[in-house]
Amino acid sequence: MQLSEQEIRRRHEREQLQSKGINPYPSELFPVSAFAKDIKENFKPDSGEYQDVYLAGRLMSRRIMGKASFAELMDSTGRIQIYVSRDDIAPGDDKSLYNEVFKKMLDIGDFIGIRGYAFVTQVGEISVHVTELKLLTKSLRPLPIVKEAVDEQGNKVTYDAFTDPEMRYRQRYVDLVVNPQVRETFIKRTQLTNSMRQFLNAKGYLEVETPILQPLYGGAAARPFKTHHNTLDMTLYLRIANELYLKRLIVGGFDGVYEFAKDFRNEGMSRFHNPEFTQVELYVAYKDYYWMMDLVEEMVEKVALDLHGTTEVQVGENKINFARPWKRFTMFEAIEHFTKIDISEMEEPELRDTAEKLGIRLDPKIGKGKIIDEIFGEMCEPNLIQPTFITDYPVEMSPLAKRHRSKEGLVERFEAICNGKEICNAFSELNDPIDQRARFEEQLELGRRGDTEAMVLDEDFLRALEYGMPPTAGLGIGIDRLSMIMTNSNSIQDVLFFPQMKPERPE
Positions at the binding site: 415, 422
DSSP state of 29: -
DSSP state of 391: E
CA–CA distance, 370 with 376 (Å, rounded to integer): 10
Rounded to whole angstroms, what are the CA distances from 124 to 44, 60, 152, 247? 12, 20, 25, 62
Please choose, from the candidates 430, 8, 411, the residue with its C-alpha nearest in 3D space to the C-alpha of residue 250.
430
Rounded to whole angstroms, what are the CA distances from 206 to 139, 195, 253, 387? 45, 15, 12, 27
Backbone angles phi, psi at 21, to 5 degrees: 85, 15
DSSP state of 219: S
CB-side neighbour CA atoms (13 Å) of 21: 2
Long-range contacts of 155-158 (CB under 8 A, 24+ apart): none
Backbone angles phi, psi at 130, to 5 degrees: -85, 130
Helices marked H in 405-478 — which ranges?
Answer: 433-448, 459-467
CA–CA distance, 111 with 57 (Å, rounded to integer): 5
Which residues are annotated binding-site positions for Mg(2+)? 415, 422
| Residue 315 parent element (H or E) | strand 312-315
CA–CA distance, 308 with 106 (Å, rounded to integer): 41
CA–CA distance, 250 with 237 (Å, rounded to integer): 23
DSSP state of 494: G
Please choose, from the candidates 485, 477, 489, 484, the residue with its C-alpha nearest in 3D space to the C-alpha of residue 278.
477
DSSP state of 37: H
Residue type, 67: K
DSSP state of 283: E
CA–CA distance, 1 with 451 (Å, rounded to integer): 47
